[in-house]
Structure 1
Amino acid sequence: MPQNTPPFAYGKDPLTAGKALALARGEAGGVLSEPVLRKVRASQQAVEAIVAAGDPVYGVNTGFGPLCTTRISAADTRQLQLNILKSHSVGVGQPVRQEIARLMLVLKLHALAQGYSGVREQTLKRILWHLEEGIIPVVPSQGSVGASGDLAPLAHLFLPLIGLGEVQCGETTCPAGEVLTARGMEPLALGPKEGLALINGTQFIAAHAVVVVEKMHSCLSQADIIGAMMIEGLQGSVKPFHKKLHQLRPFQGVQHVAGRIRSLLKGSEILEDHIDCDRVQDPYSLRCIPQVHGASRNAWLHLKELVETELNAVTDNPVIIDEALTISGGNFHGQPLAMALDYACLAASELGNISDRRIYLALEGNSTGLPALLMENTGLNSGYMMLQYTSAALASENKGLCFPASADSIPTSMGQEDHVSMGSISGRKALRVLENVEKILAIELLTAAQAFEFRKPLKSGWFLEQAHALVRRRVAFAREDRVFATDIEKGLEIIRSRELIGLLDSFSETKKLSLKTPLDPLFETY
C-alpha cells in the first residue's frame, strides 16, 4: 500500500478482500479508533446491564444450543464464557496455514469492532496484539459445519486469549500459555457473552473465501494469457474474439476475456501468416475461450461481491442492538458464502478442464508445422505425452471435488441446529481445486511455449513474445526427453509468483501495450 495511506480503522472502514490480505500479511496496519471503542464500550455495558437485570438472553445468562433454556446465575456468567471456548475446541486435521489464521483474526476483529457483540475493549486489543506481534493461533482445518458459525475453528483461534491452545511464532509452535508468560502477559478473564461472541461467526469460511478470490483471480488472468499463447502455437483464428460477435451475447465476463485475447494477439505475424488458410473453425477449447473463461469470470465476480458484503457484516448471535433489544437470529449461518464458494469451485475446475483440452489438442499433431507430441524425434522420445497425463489426472480429481458441500446438511446440537451450511468444506475444497488448476496451467504454459517455438521465425504480438521469453529464462525448449517434473515445478513457480500478471501490468502502465478493457474495474480489482 502507498506510504501515505492511513491505517485501516477496524469496525469503521469498509473492508475488501485485498485490504484483508494486506492486513493479514502485515502490508498494511490497522487501528481501533476512539469512536469505534466508544461503540464497543456501550455494547459491553448493555450486556452488563442485561446480566444485572436477570432477563434471559441466549448465551449471556443461558446455556448454549439445546441448553438454551438452562438459566445461568449472574455469578457463573464469566465461567460460562470460559467453558464455551474449552468445550467447543474440538477441531481435528492438519492446521490451516498461518495466512488463513491471520485472516480469521482480521475478519473477527473487524466484525466485533462494529459494536454489536458486547465484547470488551481489552479483548479486541488483545486480538490486535496477536496480529501485530505475529503470534498466530494454531487452528485445525476440520470440525466446522458452517452454522452456528465456524464454532470449532474459532474456539481454537481464541483459546490463546485464555492461555490455552497453541500458537505459531514464525515457524515455531508453542503452548500459548508459555508465550504469554514469556511476554509478561496474563490470560484474559472473559466477560459475559464474550466467549460466545468470539466463536459465533463465519470467519473460517470467509477467510478461505478471501484467499479463493485472490487465487482464482490469478488463475483467470493467467489462463487468458496462456490461452492466447496456445492460440498462436496452434495457429488458431482471432475471429471468434471479434467485438461485434460478443456484443450479440453481452455477458460481462465473456466480453472481458474476448477483449483481452484480442489485445494479446494484436500485431501478431503468426496470425497474419495463416489468415487465408482453409480451416473453417477451431476446436472449442480455442474457439470458446471467451465463453468458458468468461463464465468463470462471472462466477468470480459473484463470489467477490458476496465476500465484500460478508467481510463488513456482523455474524454474531445474539446481536446486541442496545440494552433494550437483543436479537437471537441466524447471521452466523454460512449459506450465502457456502453456495457461492461451491459455484466458484465448479468455475475453477472448468478453467482447468478446458486448459487440459488445449494441452491434449497441442499434442495431436494436427496443426500445420507442429509435430505430434511437440517433439521431432518421437518414438525414441515420448515428448510431451506424459505431461498431459498429469493434467488429465488433476482435471479429473477436480471434477470429483465439485460436488457442492452446501447441498448437504446434517443436524447438530440435538436438533437445535437442524440445518447447517457446510460452508467450511466449500471453502477448503475450492482452495484444493484452485491449487490443482495452478498445476494444470503450469503444464499448459510449458506446452504452449513449446508449440510457440515451432512458429519461429514468425513473431507474435509484443507481449506474448516477452511472456515466451520469460518462460524460456526458466525452462529450455525440449529437443529430447528429460525429467519433465522439474520443468513443471519451474512452470508452477511462474504461475504462483504471478510474474506473467506483473509483466502485463508493467506494460500497461508504461503504455508500451494497451491491454485495458472497459470492464477492468469489475474484473481486475478485489
Structure 2
Amino acid sequence: MITLEPGAVPLEQWRAIYCGADVRLAPACREAVQRAADTIARIAAADHAVYGVNTGFGLLASIRIAPADLDTLQRNLVLSHAAGVGEPMPRSVLRLMMALKLASLGRGASGVRIETLDLLEAMVARDLLPVVPAQGSVGASGDLAPLAHMSAAMIGVGEIDTPAGRFPAEWALREAGLIPLALGPKEGLALLNGTQFSTAYALAGLFEAEALHAAALVAGALSTEAAKGSDTPFDPRIHALRGHRGQIEVAAMLRAMMHHSPLRASHRDDDKRVQDPYCLRCQPQVMGAVLDLLRQAAATLGAEANSVSDNPLVFADTDEVLSGGNFHAEPVAFAADMIAMALCEIGSLSERRLAMLVDPALSGLPAFLTPRPGLNSGFMIPQVTAAALVSENKQRAYPASVDSIPTSANQEDHVSMAAHGARRLMAMADNTGNVVAIELLAAAQGYDFHAPLQSSQAVEAVHREVRAAVAHLDEDRYFHPDIAAAAQIVRSGKLREIAEAHAVPVPSVSHG
C-alpha cells in the first residue's frame, strides 16, 4: 500500500503504483483540501467573476454564469471535453494517471471537495478504471480530453473497466457501492485540467527505460566476453579524467561484471586486435550519457508528479483564486523527448554489438553465429529485425516539443505536444526491449563457442539464465519463441537482480 503524501511522493512510489501497488491518500491532507473547498464555496456565493468558478472557459471566459447554473456548467464542461479518440490507455498507465491526479488535488490548491477525492481514491482501490481514449491532448490547457473521460466516469458517464469486465460507468459505480459524483463549482475544471495524462505516460517511459538500460548493460558485458573484447576501456582512470558521473558508474559496472574472468585472462596479451569497435569500447561513454540524460528527465518528472497543474489555483490562506498556466506541459514534453533519445540510443548501441557478433571479420566467431553457415542462416534475420526496430525508433525519436499548433480560437496559441511525446515512449520501449533481447541471445550463442572457458561468476549466472529459457542454436529453428523468451528476461528485471546478487553495482536512474 502506497500512502501518497501530496507534494512529497518519491519516484520509487510512482514506480510501485505503475507496477500495481495499492494507493491511498494521506489523511493529513484533508484539512487543506477542505479549506480550499470552503474558499470556492464562498466565492461561488459572491458577486464578482472568478475564472472557472462562475465564468465560461478558454475564449468564453468573459461570459458570466448565473449561480443556479454553476453545477450544470461543470457537468457540461466534462461532457463537452470528453472528445478523445483512439485505443484506450493501458491499465497500468491509467492507474498511475489517477494516482497523480489524486495527489495533485490532495495539495489543497484545486478547490475540490473531500467527497470528490474519496470517490477517485475508491475507484483506484477497487480497480474501477475509466475507459480513456489515448488521443486528443496537445499538452497545454491541461490534458483536457483524456482527463475529461476520467472525470466523465466519475459522474456516471462513459464506461469503466472492472475486475468483472467493462460496463456503463453509472452501473459499475453503483454495483461497487459508490455514488456517481454531482460536481460542485470548479470541480469539473479541477479534474480535467492538469498534466497527469502526459506525466503518467512519461513516467511509464522512464521506468521502462531504466529497466532496459540495466538490461542492456548486462547484455553488453556478455557480448564483450563473447567477442573476446578488452576490459581496458573500463579502467577507472580513463573515466575519472572526463568526469561524467554516468560514464564513471557504467564503467564501474562493466568492470565489475567481468572481474576475475578466466575468459578475459585467456586473451589479455593478444596483440592482434589493438582496439575494440566502438560498440564495445565506448559503452561507458554512450550508456553513461544515456544514464545522465534519464536522470535529468527523472528530476523533471519527479517535480511535475508532485505539482499542482490545474487552473485557476486556490490560495485559502488569503482567500484568493489566481489564474495562471501551470497546465502547460512543456517540462514534461522536454523530459519525454529526452527519454525518447535515451531509448533510441540504448537500442542503437545494442544492435551494433549484435551486428558485430554476427560478422566473423569483427568477432572472430562463426558467420551469423551458426556452426554450419550456409545450410543454416543462424542469427542473420534476427539482426535484420533488430535493425528494423532501431530504425523505427529513430523515426519516433524526433522531438515532439519543437512542435506546436494553436487551439481554442488562438486563446491557447502555444502548446507543448507533451501528450503524444510521452505516449510514443511505450512503443519505443517495446522495440528497444526486443533489440536487447536479440542481442542477449546472440551474446549467449557467441559465448557458447568459447567453452570450456568461462567468464566471471556474474556473467556465468547471466548465461545460465538465458540457457534455462532458450537452448543453444545448433540448427535453424522457429526463432520467434526464442526472442519472446529472451524479451521476458529483459523486461522482468532479472538481469539486474543477477548482477546485484554478485555485488555488481548497477546504476539506477530514479534512485540516483
Question: What TM-score range do you get, normalising by the shorter chain?
Answer: over 0.9
User: Within the alignment, does 1:414 sit opposite 2:400 as a pair?
Assistant: no
> Is the contact made by 2:139 and 2:328 (CA closer than 8 Å) also made in structure 1?
yes
Matched residue SS, 1:405: coil
Q: 1:140 to 1:524 in 2, by over 3 A?
A: closer
Question: Once the 2 structures are TM-superposed, how far is the Cα of residue 32 of structure 1 from its aligned partner?
Answer: 4.0
Unaligned ranges ≥5, structure 2: none
Name the structure 1 match of 2:370.
375
> Is the contact made by 1:138 and 1:157 (CA closer than 8 Å) also made in structure 2?
yes
Distance between the aligned counterparts of 1:465 and 1:472, measured in 2?
Answer: 10
User: Within the alignment, does 1:478 sit opposite 2:435 as a pair?
Assistant: no
Which amino acid counterpart does residue 483 of structure 2 have in structure 1? Answer: I
- Write the mapping of 1:138-287 to structure 2, written as runs, cut at 5 A: 138-170=131-163, 172-278=165-271, 279-287=273-281
Distance between the aligned counterparts of 1:306 and 1:82, measured in 2?
Answer: 33
Matched residue SS, 2:212: helix
Name the structure 1 match of 2:36.
43
> Is the contact made by 2:55 and 2:62 (CA closer than 8 Å) also made in structure 1?
yes
Distance between the aligned counterparts of 1:369 and 1:118, measured in 2?
Answer: 67
> Is the contact made by 1:24 and 1:131 (CA closer than 8 Å) also made in structure 2?
no
Name the structure 2 match of 1:357.
352
Name the structure 2 match of 1:4.
none
User: Within the alignment, does 1:399 sit opposite 2:394 as a pair?
Assistant: yes
> Is the contact made by 2:202 and 2:335 (CA closer than 8 Å) also made in structure 1?
no
Question: Once the 2 structures are TM-superposed, how far is the Cα of residue 16 of structure 1 from its aligned partner?
Answer: 2.3
User: Within the alignment, does 1:344 sit opposite 2:335 as a pair?
Assistant: no
> Is the contact made by 1:17 and 1:213 (CA closer than 8 Å) also made in structure 2?
no
Question: Once the 2 structures are TM-superposed, how far is the Cα of residue 514 of structure 1 from its aligned partner?
Answer: 2.6
User: Within the alignment, does 1:429 sit opposite 2:424 as a pair?
Assistant: yes
Distance between the aligned counterparts of 2:504 and 2:363, measured in 1?
Answer: 29
Name the structure 2 match of 1:497.
492
Matched residue SS, 1:69: coil
- Write the mapping of 1:40-189 to structure 2, written as runs, cut at 5 A: 40-170=33-163, 172-189=165-182
Name the structure 2 match of 1:525.
511
Distance between the aligned counterparts of 1:298 and 1:368, measured in 2?
Answer: 30
Question: Once the 2 structures are TM-superposed, how far is the Cα of residue 473 of structure 1 from its aligned partner?
Answer: 0.7
Question: Once the 2 structures are TM-superposed, how far is the Cα of residue 171 of structure 1 from its aligned partner?
Answer: 6.3
**More displaced 10-residue stretch of structure 1: 300-309 or 177-186:** 177-186
Which amino acid counterpart does residue 315 of structure 1 have in structure 2? Answer: S
Question: Once the 2 structures are TM-superposed, how far is the Cα of residue 431 of structure 1 from its aligned partner?
Answer: 1.9
Identify the match of residue 438 of structure 2 among 431, 435, 443. Answer: 443
Q: 1:260 to 1:152 in 2, by over 3 A?
A: same
Which amino acid counterpart does residue 211 of structure 1 have in structure 2? Answer: A
Distance between the aligned counterparts of 2:385 and 2:45, measured in 1?
Answer: 65
Question: Once the 2 structures are TM-superposed, how far is the Cα of residue 340 of structure 1 from its aligned partner?
Answer: 1.4
Name the structure 2 match of 1:514.
503
Distance between the aligned counterparts of 1:110 and 1:375, measured in 2?
Answer: 54
Matched residue SS, 2:361: coil
Name the structure 2 match of 1:19.
13
> Is the contact made by 1:138 and 1:167 (CA closer than 8 Å) also made in structure 2?
yes
Distance between the aligned counterparts of 1:73 and 1:27, measured in 2?
Answer: 43
**More displaced 10-residue stretch of structure 1: 272-281 or 168-177:** 168-177
> Is the contact made by 2:25 and 2:102 (CA closer than 8 Å) also made in structure 1?
no
Alignment length, in residue pairs?
510
Matched residue SS, 2:401: helix
Point out 4+ residue stretches in structure 1 off by more than 4 angstroms: none
Q: 1:483 to 1:333 in 2, by over 3 A?
A: same
Question: Once the 2 structures are TM-superposed, how far is the Cα of residue 211 of structure 1 from its aligned partner?
Answer: 1.0
Distance between the aligned counterparts of 1:147 and 1:438, measured in 2?
Answer: 31
Question: Once the 2 structures are TM-superposed, how far is the Cα of residue 501 of structure 1 from its aligned partner?
Answer: 1.6
Unaligned ranges ≥5, structure 1: 2-6, 508-512
Distance between the aligned counterparts of 1:402 and 1:110, measured in 2?
Answer: 30
> Is the contact made by 1:54 and 1:74 (CA closer than 8 Å) also made in structure 2?
no
Which amino acid counterpart does residue 309 of structure 2 have in structure 1? Answer: T
Distance between the aligned counterparts of 1:368 and 1:138, measured in 2?
Answer: 50
> Is the contact made by 1:342 and 1:430 (CA closer than 8 Å) also made in structure 2?
no
TM-score, normalised relative to structure 2: 0.97
**1:123-146 residue CA offsets vs partner (Å, 9 max, x unmatched):** 000000101111111111100000
Q: 1:62 to 1:351 in 2, by over 3 A?
A: same
